[in-house]
Chain A
Amino acid sequence: MSSDNSAPLSRRQFITGAAAAVAGLTIAPGVFLLKPAEAAQKADGPRWGLLIDTSKCADGCTACVRACHEENGVRSLGRPETDAQWIRKVNLTERATGHQHSLPVMCQHCENPPCVDVCPTHASFIRPDGIVLVDKHSCIGCRYCMMACPYKARSFIHEKLTDQKPHAPRGKGTVESCTLCVHRIDRGERTTACVEACNRDGHKAMTFGDLHDPDSEISQRLRNYGSTTIRADLRLNPAVRYQGI
């Protein structure tokens, strides 16, 4: 849980910069660089993430969405309002210029996840490798996390399910979201269903990898070409990063 290892800051500490003494660097009076203490702590292990290049993501292509939902056994029950969505394609048109983007959005695996902060049962949690999951053994279905998530990443299961995938247990009364294909990662694979599908279709818009390993492909791309995150202003430091938005 993030609260275990992030430096707790009071509002006053934050405003006055007193926190800088704890984990930061004062540049000038009132101006300080804040470095989350946990980033340093976790740096020895991996932190899995995705980089999505929206300039390569094809408008109308839904290979990643298909692949994700097939991989994890997520299927429509014929009721679009309540059907679970682990990943969706969002098409954006910039009003001023008419420029169009298409990009996949899934759980952004925030470093400071609000869904974890609000969960009353600690069911919503972040693994040491940065993957944010719901432990359905303790989820009570209150849906606080769904309201807290700024990315609308989570779905509630309203109906009894059958024929789940062995690696992806899912059930009525619990909340779920993208797992970053944690079953593959725990098996030692280093790709996700969505990335695999995107590569297979030749778009190569997505890269999966270890954000903490400076030599990984994803880290090198991030270093050389830069990136942004959706709603970067919220300072959640998502592990899913975008280029071209």
Chain B
Amino acid sequence: MPSVLTRAGLSLPALLAGLVFFALSGCGKVEPPPASLLAEARGDQCVEPTDVMRREHMQILMHERDEAKRYGRRNPDHSFVGCVDCHVSPTANREDPSTHFCMACHEFNAVRMDCFQCHTDRPSDAAPASHRNVDLHESIERHLAAHADASTNAVEVSIP
């Protein structure tokens, strides 16, 4: 191996320095995926400059979520729901990341995030989709019917 390197005119220290430089140059950088993968935001302007959002959106969300959740001090400019409402199209589907603003970039940069395990991945105006509410009513009626003949002393009727 050393003989190959010396033949190519490289010394080991120079190679190591090069490796370190290469590794560091990747730190703190976010590569935006090709424009074709990023859906247009629906608002006129983002709440912060694009490069700030690209670099720091996670800190902004993380820092302010405790304020919002624990004290009810909510900043509408930095709300998670606000991001999704503006950036995600009502027809987006996170199973197909190319249609979903957040997922497209995260997929491209190979950064896994858990937000959508609990938060809805769709904007507010997409949530009351008709077939969903029909499901909900059906599920409530089913549950009510299951408890209709209860006749004990203390009965719990619950309809999730």
Residues of A within 8 A of B (CB): 62, 65-66, 69-70, 73-76, 78, 80, 83-93, 95, 125, 127-129, 133, 135-137, 160-161, 163-167, 169-172, 174, 182, 185-186
Q: Is there contact, CB below 8 Å, between A62 and B157?
A: yes
Contacts of A137 in B (CB 8 A): 65, 69
Are A90 and B155 within 8 A (Cβ)? yes
Name which residue of chain A comes closest to B73, CB basis.
Answer: A186
**Once the chains bind, are B158 and A166 in contact (CB under 8 Å)?**
no
Q: List the B side residues contacting A89 at CB < 8 Å.
A: 156-158
Question: B55 on the interface (CB 8 Å rule)?
Answer: no
A-B contact count (CB 8 A): 104
Q: How far is the CB of B68 from chain A (nearest CB, A)?
A: 8
Taking the complex as formed, is B54 at the interface, i.e. its CB lies under 8 A from any CB of chain A? Answer: no
Interface string of B123-160 (1 = CB under 8 A from A): 11001000010011001101110100010011111111
Q: List 26 A-B contacts (CB under 8 A).
A: A62-B144, A65-B157, A69-B140, A69-B160, A78-B139, A80-B146, A84-B160, A85-B158, A86-B160, A88-B157, A89-B158, A90-B154, A90-B156, A125-B70, A128-B71, A129-B72, A161-B118, A163-B122, A165-B127, A169-B120, A170-B118, A172-B117, A182-B72, A185-B72, A186-B72, A186-B74
Distance from A192 Cβ to chain B, minimum over Cβ atoms (Å): 15
B residues 87-116 with Cβ under 8 Å of A?
none
Give A90 to B153 CA distance when docked, in angstroms: 10
**When chains A and B are docked, how far (Å) is the Cα of A172 from the Cα of B117?**
7
19 further contact pairs, Cβ within 8 A, besides A69-B159, A76-B139, A85-B160: A65-B158, A66-B159, A69-B160, A76-B142, A80-B146, A83-B143, A83-B158, A85-B158, A90-B156, A91-B154, A91-B157, A129-B72, A135-B70, A137-B65, A166-B81, A166-B127, A169-B118, A169-B120, A185-B72
The docked-state distance in angstroms from the alpha carbon of A49 to that of B106 is 42
Q: How far is the CB of A215 from chain B (nearest CB, A)?
A: 22
**Beta-carbon contact of A74 and B72 below 8 Å:** no
Main secondary structure of the interface of A (DSSP, over half): loop
Decide if B29 is an interface residue (CB 8 Å cutoff).
no
Query: How distant is B47 from chain A, measured CB to nearest CB, in Å?
Result: 17
Give complex CA distance A136, B132 in Å: 24
Contact B160 A127 (CB under 8 A): no
CB distance from B151 to the nearest CB of A (A): 10
B7 in contact (CB, < 8 A): no
Known: A95-B153, A133-B69, A166-B81. A174 touches B118 (CB 8 A): yes
Across the interface, A164 reaches (CB within 8 A) one of B85, B120, B142, namely B120
B82 to chain A: closest residue by CB: A166
A70: chain B residues at CB < 8 Å are 136, 140
Tell me the smallest distance from the CB of A186 to a CB of chain B, in Å.
5
Query: Are B160's CB and A164's CB within 8 A?
Result: no
Bound-state CA distance A186–B65 (Å) is 14
How many Å lie between the Cα of A69 and that of B141 in the bound state?
12
B150 to chain A, nearest CB (A): 8
**Chain B residues within an 8 Å CB radius of A95:** 153
A80–B143 touching, CB < 8 Å: yes
| Contact (Cβ within 8 A) B120 A166 | yes
Chain B residues with CB under 8 Å of A125's CB are 70
**CB pair A127 B159 closer than 8 Å:** no
Cα separation A161 to B135 with both chains bound (whole Å): 14
CB <8 Å contact, B153 and A93: yes
B70→A127 contact, CB < 8 A? yes
Tell me the smallest distance from the CB of A77 to a CB of chain B, in Å: 8
Q: Which residues of A are found within 8 Å of B155, using beta-carbon distances? A: 90-91
| A60 nearest CB across to chain B (Å) | 9
